Chain A
Amino acid sequence: MRPLNLAKLNHILIPQTKTARDRFRDGRFGRVVAPLTGFYEALSDEGRLVASMAFVFGGFALDVRHTEIYVVWCALVALVVASIALRRGYRLDDVRVEVEVPRRVTVAEEMRFAFVVRNDGARDHRALRVRGPFLPWDGKWIGDMPRVRRLAPGATARVEVGCRFAERGEHHLDSFSAAALVPLGLSLGRPLRSTGCRLLVVPKIARVERLALPTGRRHQPGGVALASKTGESMDLLGVRPYRAGDAVRDLHAKSWARLGVPVVREYQEEYFSRIGVVVDTAVEAAEAGGAKDPERLLEAAVSLAAGVVAHLSRGEALIDLLVAGGRVHELTLGRSLGFLDQALDLLACVKPGPRLDPDAMVERLATHLTRLSCVIVIALGHDDGELAERIRGYGVACTVIAVGDRNAARDRESKTVAAESIERGEALAL
């Protein structure tokens, strides 16, 4: 039985997307608790501390005839109530806020949110407090929320706050807010809110230094044209005399001028290896197979897949297909046109899936296998080589990289990578 992730418990009842959270807030329960949340939002950090202490002391202050703790309770309550009651004049009129968020961030890597406040009004604002949204369970703010001491008319303040996310995936965050601190520092004026933001936490890219691809019989002609869809960009082979039927646009003016006869450029078509990457996400199957920490293996496998894609993106190969679990994704953007980002986005959202069924998988890949040169299967724990054999049956070369213990792979053309090596960022020669 896998251990329960206690950190997630806090967030079971909180919807994951901002839309769902907004729906919850607009719902009946959300409207009922709105005054409470409004009260909470209206308090500064110090005010929340005072209110919390008032709540705690309330129980001890009940016996007003034998103790005097109720005097402290009265003072706490009075300070909070008075601060809330007199906060109305501290709205941030004519102030605009904006949040700059990176679209992608690597898991466990520190990222920075930039919060920009601009005062378009004529009033001086002092002591602004910035508040970030409630983070999902895997998120953690780094350092304190920034504060702006003064925002003069016409001035812009840009503050940053760091954050780190521990789990891959798409994260929907609520809005940031800025509010002016009311004198005595226990409450805030009406806050200004930014729009919500969305970011993708992508896996770490494993450091794949070398990747030996099996020799495939198929090299795809017209690779660039088909892959990148940017028109003809084949290698220039040289020039030759014009022959009837040659395209006029291939005429090489300088050579024609030098030789006195029409000369055209001649191109040679490129041939690319077109590759498919299959990532096994069967965590439960890996656990059944004896893997001690299958979720860790999945993270390492996803990281390795990112590393493989990144490595191939630097070479002469194109990744046409990315299969994660049971889902087949066609990468259509081509070399150097963002397919690494596209692949990272897909890998960011990989979840544990069912056991890979070789028959079903090959059937689903059948239409794609006809144009692939090679398939790389990244397996969890161990691999029995069955899927690789089926793929090879289509005339497509296949290599298996098993993530797990040494000698986890049984296929003849397979390799094994220890999860620790991937996590440690070791250079991998596969």
Chain B
Amino acid sequence: MSVAPLLVALALYGYAAGAWPVAAAVALGTLASIATKRRVALAPAAQRVVLAAAIALGVALGLARAPAPGYGAGTLPSFASAIALGVLVAAGARAWIRAPERGYAITFALALVGVAACGATRLGSIYAIAVLAFFTASLAALRAHDAARATWAEQSPRDKRVGVAIGVVALGIAAAIARTLPPLYDWAQGRFDLAYEFVGFKSDLRLGSLDDLKKSDEIVLRISGTRVDYLRGAVYDHFDDRTSSWSLARRDTRSLVLRGSPPRDVHGVEIRRVGGWGERYFLPMRAGAIGSPAGEAIVDVTGVMRPVGNRRYDHYWFDLAAPDELAAADPTPEDSRVPARLRAALETILVDWTRPGDPPDVVLAKIARHFDDDYAYSLSFERPAADPLVDFLLVNKQGHCEYFASAMALLARAAKIPARVAAGYRVAERNPITGRYIVRQKNAHAWVEAWLPGSGWQTIDPTPASKLEENIARNESLGRALLDVASLAGAAIVDGWSRLGPIELAMIAMALTALFVVVRWLGGPRGARGGAGIDVTAGERPLPCLARLLEALAAHGVTHAPSEPLERLARRLADADLREPAELVERYAALRYGGVGDAAAIADAMDRCAAAFSR
């Protein structure tokens, strides 16, 4: 009965990870302990060592297998597989231990963690059935391990009814919560995404509100290698003047195979995502030799790259010198379309700002200069919802990057220059200690990509650089740089750990185990109160030498009740003229509860005394 939950958990692991041989081996090893009825008696410290070794072995085996992509049987991610197998092997090892520390509850907890880890992929109804079977078996096993509880057969009809009622109610509650959570999650994520929408990384970019603009210091990306000014995450070519929002008109995409190893040359750039959602990659306009552990990505016609399905990876890289793999398509009529309602106003402005016959690059430069001279960057302004862009251009000449980018894109189009709005991050901040660049959420930015004959798509940032402080290239302050280094070190440890192979992990586990044993051996138990040298954790059970002496004394007619303090026993023995055992009991008490004396010598003396009494 006690191994039933573990067997359920192992079966679930075998299915989820597609690792039936390993699961079967662990299950057989566990069942063998039942079949042979052999248990090993181990001291608590030795049990912990065995447990640690078992976990290390399981983790190594779990990491050794490569999961299949997607969801379903055999798709359990390596990390979850390592956790699941680590705890399940440990639970199996406990089956071989006589009187394992803290009883069956720990075995149950380990198996439960294994079952939960198997939920890291989606298995559908199989998982729900396995969870139900696991809990049913676990509750029965917990009952079987408690001698103070009646068996199911011994229970009164009332208790049986209540037990069944609890099970049925629990099943109903679990089903209700499980049905409610997914739609609740979608609703919550929808609300969160709305907040995210305004920084421009969703499918559209809407002008007007300032309420949800993200200005936090949260670090989103860490970049090492050559500096890249602009990292694109979204590009918009269609402007809807009724809603004042930008979107992408074209939906055609292509697949891109990603390289498997990071770049080593001077042009290489590595990006690690440490915040945000990871629903898109942030890359410069032209990048080659793009790689990621994901193996594959989707690129749209504007050269924006997205993950395939849910295969999001926080680490990717590219090479600026390699041939462009993003290859944004040539302009389409959508890149030149100006809403009819705005055309007159835009052309009026162009007449004022430019001269007929100006080449495209000059037109764009003049527009940018006017923005720089006459417009102000601001995050606190009031703007009518009806036509925010016209208000920005003609009336209230202040706004944030989205206004500047939108206005320039439409003015460029009015001047017959294909243009569109890009959104992503401006890379500006550098950690002077690590030499890496840091992108925070407040570096979210919007700019313009314009098509120049002979040059193709070019990045043009109309937002006045001097007025957007967080986007000015600079070094971090020393304090923030140190903090960043600390968090980077933590991330590096996690990352380094995840890169270790099974043999390296096993070696580390063995080294840690050896270190633990050495420390325990050298240090020995210390008292809770150092001054008095008293060990409050000292011995719940008497040492064998005392047990033998008490046994010999009992045969001699001197019995010892468990509640009788040893000091009192010693006095009683002395009164009975049994001076040698009295002294030995006192010395034992001093050793056991005072931590003084030579344990080996006392044990030897007690054994000799016990032997003398036995004769």
Q: Which residues of A contact B (CB under 8 A)?
A: 3, 5, 7, 45-46, 49, 53, 57, 60, 62-75, 77-79, 81-83, 85-86, 89, 106-112, 124, 126-129, 137-140, 142-143, 147-150, 160, 162, 164-167, 181-185, 204, 207, 293-296, 298-299, 420, 423-425
Contact = CB atoms under 8 A, between A and B. Distances in A.
Given A7-B528, A82-B167, A112-B562, 7 more contacts: A49-B105, A67-B122, A74-B177, A127-B149, A183-B163, A296-B533, A299-B532
B135 A111 contact: no
B356 interface: no
Nearest to B529: A166
B278 to A, nearest CB: 12
Interface in B130-156: 131-132, 135, 139, 142-143, 146-150, 155-156
A147 B109 CA distance: 22
B200 interface: no
Contacts of B530: 3, 5, 293, 295-296
Given A140-B536, A140-B537, A148-B148, A60 B116 contact: yes
Nearest to B161: A183
Contacts of A5: 528-530
Given A69-B116, A185-B146, A424 B590 contact: yes
A46 B540 contact: no
B491 interface: no
Nearest to B169: A82
Contacts of B567: 106, 109
B595 to A, nearest CB: 8
B171 interface: yes
B174 A74 contact: yes
A395 B172 CA distance: 88
Given A127-B149, A424-B594, A138 B536 contact: yes
A148 B127 CA distance: 38
B32 interface: no
B122 A66 contact: yes
Contact of A425 (B156, B165, B177, B594): B594
Contacts of B537: 140
B122 A183 contact: no
B128 interface: yes
A207 B169 CA distance: 64
A108 B112 contact: no
Contacts of B163: 183-184
13 contacts: A49-B109, A67-B121, A75-B132, A75-B174, A78-B171, A79-B170, A109-B566, A124-B156, A126-B155, A147-B147, A148-B148, A296-B531, A424-B597
B333 interface: no
Contacts of A73: 116
Given A69-B119, A109-B567, A423-B596, A295 B527 contact: no
A183 B155 contact: yes
Interface residues of B, number: 74
A128 B177 CA distance: 32
A167 B131 CA distance: 47
Contacts of A82: 166-167, 169-170, 173
B162 A149 contact: no
A89 B596 contact: no
10 tightest A-B contacts by CB? Answer: A295-B531, A183-B163, A147-B148, A78-B174, A78-B173, A82-B170, A69-B119, A68-B119, A82-B169, A112-B563
A86 B565 contact: no
A26 B160 CA distance: 38
A127 B142 CA distance: 13
A111 to B, nearest CB: 7
A62 B184 CA distance: 11
B159 A420 contact: no
Nearest to A148: B148
B149 A181 contact: yes
A119 B170 CA distance: 32
A348 B159 CA distance: 49
Contacts of A74: 173-175, 177-178, 181
Given A49-B109, A167-B529, A185-B149, A108 B534 contact: yes
A64 B533 contact: no
B210 interface: no
A71 B128 CA distance: 7
Contacts of A140: 536-537
Nearest to B563: A112
Main secondary structure of the interface of B (DSSP, over half): helix
Contacts of B587: 425
A295 B160 CA distance: 58
Contacts of A182: 162, 166
B589 interface: yes
A72 B105 contact: no
Interface string B98-132: 00000001001100110111011111000110011
Contacts of B109: 49, 53
B185 interface: yes
B586 interface: yes
A68 B147 CA distance: 35
A46 B590 contact: no
Contact of B120 (A53, A69, A167): A69
A12 B15 CA distance: 50
B375 interface: no
A189 to B, nearest CB: 11
Contacts of A207: 586
B155 A72 contact: no
A185 B178 contact: no
B182 interface: yes
A49 B109 CA distance: 8
B173 to A, nearest CB: 4
Nearest to A52: B109
B593 interface: yes
Interface in B175-203: 175, 177-178, 181-182, 185-186
B310 interface: yes
A89 B597 CA distance: 55
A70 B166 contact: no
A64 B532 contact: no
Contacts of A293: 530-531
A124 B122 CA distance: 47
Contact of A149 (B147, B178, B529): B147
Most chain-B Cβ atoms within 10 A of its Cβ — which of A64, A124, A160?
A: A64
Interface in B530-583: 530-534, 536-537, 540, 562-563, 565-567
A293 B182 CA distance: 61
Contact of A71 (B119, B150, B171, B597): B119
Contacts of B589: 109, 425
Contacts of B562: 112, 160, 162
A252 B337 CA distance: 138
Given A49-B108, A424-B597, A149 B173 contact: no
B116 A57 contact: yes
A147 B185 CA distance: 43
Given A107-B534, A110-B565, A150-B150, A183 B528 contact: no
Contacts of B139: 184-185
B150 A126 contact: yes
Contacts of A64: 181-182, 185
Interface in B288-335: 310
Nearest to A300: B532
B590 A423 contact: yes
A107 B529 CA distance: 12
A68 B529 contact: no
A169 B545 CA distance: 32
B170 A127 contact: no
Nearest to A427: B583
A138 B529 contact: yes
